[in-house]
A and B are shown apart, each in its own frame.
Chain A
């Protein structure tokens, strides 16, 4: 992997998966979020507000460095933001809302969307809303990943839980070190 000096991690994934929530949960400064009323019909059904452009949060590191946390917008028409945001990122956290109609397809979609980035950088898959439904199961996600030939870990998390968001980030760091 190149460009190690960049310290940025990107949260991506489907609408309502909890990208904005995860960044808000862990960010030490009030995160910047670009929430508006959604325009896509499928999104209007699910949420009152949605991210356009991006979410942005920060963690200060010892010695003055900063880890930037970016969240991509979930609405498909903003997919172009993904390339912009992942440029130079350490890795990707892909959040999938398990209550979505086709969560496995959603995972597929975001892994495909980030295909080029993931050739050289790692991802961790976080399944949210698992407390609401355990179907598909974590095993189902692994089967889908195996079919794609992807080695990424799958963790069921709650984006509102600091411990869970930390676990996602720590797992990404572990792959950066050893994966």
Chain B
């Protein structure tokens, strides 16, 4: 798999346009042969400009060959990202354009089209007015098929988006397990996909409310209690309005918890030693900020965090440099990546500490003492 990293600068985008764009792009990423990040720096691999720049002259310093334009009409030109009438870029066109831009063949598969479909359906459903407020963490069995829900009237069933289980594993995957971690299941996928409006997510018996705008979630269960939901399908997602969410919160007296903690922990647990799709062991990476070290299990990773925070290094070199097993490095990396704490870099930058033996011994002794 070709993996490279693209930076994209959104020129003159409003906050909500940026949000929409990021949401679609993160869905697209699974189908791209690149990973990407939206940057605010002067320079970037690609620039996405709003329509008005088509008419006006380009901004100085932005090379036209690396520009895409938002175009609200249908477009025949591959240099345009297709947008629908609400100016939301459609997934398929984005995948084609970006893959083409880096000189590789667009993976025009049925799957791509399916994903595009899902994204578009999701958008439609997110704006659906009908939303029923349910109790947080409500324990009622979610039926295997949404269409079989007996207690939800058909008019309201439409408000749910059902995420199906992914295709069954191939025989090779069954033998050795899938080589890459693709967050395509359960609560983790739902949380990653939810980028604009509050939703109620149901996995089996568990209900979780998300407020992506405030970056919070509401659930009476602890992160550890949610583990079985992280990569279990089927899940049901139902968009709700902010007033509905406020109502639920005031009825249940639940306090908001950081959404990034849910994503971090879910990815950390669901990775199971596999590297995130779109990342190569050869990628040079840097931890730009510390994760919440108070998260369950994260306390065992302080040395790894400190190392990745002060060095920019190939992923494949981290296990030997830190003595953490490669699987642990991948679990930690994936979790940090999915909450935006990882930056990929072009060059390795090592800040090796010159610690004499005496000092090393001292640190070891203190660490040992802290164990009991």
A binds B: yes
Q: Is B369 an interface position by the 8 A CB rule? A: yes
- Asked if B368 contacts A178 (CB within 8 A), the reply is no
Interchain CB contact under 8 A, B307 and A178 = yes
Most chain B beta-carbon contacts within 10 A, residue among A60, A157, A169, A178: A178
Q: Which of B309-365 contact A (CB under 8 A)?
A: 309-311, 322, 353, 355-356, 358-360, 362-363, 365
Binary flags per residue of A155-179, CB closer than 8 Å to B gives 1, else 0: 1110000011011011101111111
Chain A residues positioned under 8 Å from B12 (CB to CB): none
Is B292 in contact with chain A by the CB < 8 A criterion?
Answer: yes
Q: Does A110 contact B (CB under 8 A)?
A: no
B366 close to A177 (CB less than 8 A): no
- Give 6 nearest A-B pairs by CB, closest first: A174-B306, A4-B359, A153-B290, A178-B306, A61-B365, A174-B302
Chain B residues positioned under 8 Å from A169 (CB to CB): 366, 370
B365 touches A62 (CB 8 A): yes
**B57-100 near A? 1/0 per residue, CB < 8 Å:** 00000000000000000000000000000000000000000000
On whether the beta carbons of B302 and A170 are closer than 8 Å, the reply is yes
Partner of B303, one of A151, A154, A177: A177
Give which listed residue, B353, B366, B368, contacts A7 with CB less than 8 A: B366
Distance, CA A177 to CA B366, complexed state (A):
12
B366 contacts A167, CB within 8 Å? no
A sample of 13 cross-chain residue pairs with beta-carbon separation below 8 angstroms, ordered by A number, consists of A4-B359, A4-B362, A62-B368, A63-B365, A65-B365, A137-B258, A138-B258, A156-B292, A169-B370, A171-B306, A173-B366, A175-B306, A179-B309
Number of interface residues of B (CB under 8 A): 32
- Contacting pair B305 A154 (CB below 8 A): no
CB-CB under 8 A from B53, the residues of chain A are none
Contact B310 A179 (CB under 8 A): yes
- Tell whether, in the assembled complex, residue B370 and residue A177 are in contact, meaning their CB atoms are under 8 Å apart: no
In chain A, what residue has the closest Cβ to B361?
A63
Taking A157-B294, A173-B370, A174-B307 as given, write out 9 further A-B residue pairs in contact, using a Cβ cutoff of 8 Å, ordered by the A residue number: A62-B369, A67-B366, A153-B293, A156-B292, A173-B367, A174-B305, A174-B306, A176-B359, A178-B310
Contact B365–A177 (Cβ < 8 Å)? no
A170 with B367, Cβ < 8 A, contacts A4-B358, A4-B359 known: yes
| CB-contacts of B198-215 with A (<8 A) | none
Nearest A residue (CB) for B290: A153
**A residues less than 8 Å from B292 (CB atoms):** 138, 155-156
User: Which residues of A have CB within 8 Å of B359?
Assistant: 4, 176
Which A residues are closer than 8 A to B by beta carbons?
A: 4-5, 7, 59-63, 65, 67, 134, 137-139, 142, 151, 153-157, 163-164, 166-167, 169-171, 173-179
Question: B359 to chain A: closest CB distance in Å?
Answer: 4
Are A171 and B293 in contact (CB-based, < 8 A)?
A: yes
Residues of B within 8 A of A167 (CB): 293-294, 299, 302
Chain A residues, Cβ within 8 Å of B303: 174, 177-178
Interface-centre pick from A59, A63, A164, A176 (highest chain B CB count, 10 A): A176
**By the criterion CB–CB under 8 Å, are B289 and A142 in contact?**
yes
CA distance A88 to B119 in the complex (A): 58
- Are A170 and B370 in contact, CB atoms less than 8 angstroms apart? yes
Is the Cβ of B294 less than 8 Å from the Cβ of A155? yes
Distance A157 CA – B369 CA, assembled complex (angstroms)? 20
Task: Please give me the residue from chain A that is nearest to B368 by CB atom.
Answer: A62
Nearest-neighbour CB distance to chain B for A150, whole angstroms, equals: 12
List, in ascending order, chain A residues with CB within 8 A of B258's CB. 137-139
* A163 to B294 CA separation, bound complex (whole angstroms): 10
Which residue of chain B is the closest to A169 with respect to CB atoms?
B370
A61 touching B366 in the complex, CB below 8 Å, given contacts A155-B294, A170-B299: yes
User: Is B306 touching A179 in the complex (CB atoms < 8 A)?
Assistant: yes
Q: Is the CB of B299 within 8 A of A59?
A: no
Report chain B residues within 8 Å CB of A178.
Answer: 303, 306-307, 309-311, 322, 353
Chain B residues with CB below 8 A from A67, complex form: 366, 369
A53 to B308, CA, bound (A): 38
Given contacts A4-B358, A170-B302, A174-B305, A164 and B294 within 8 Å (CB-CB): yes
Give Cα distance in the complex from A171 to B311, angstroms. 16
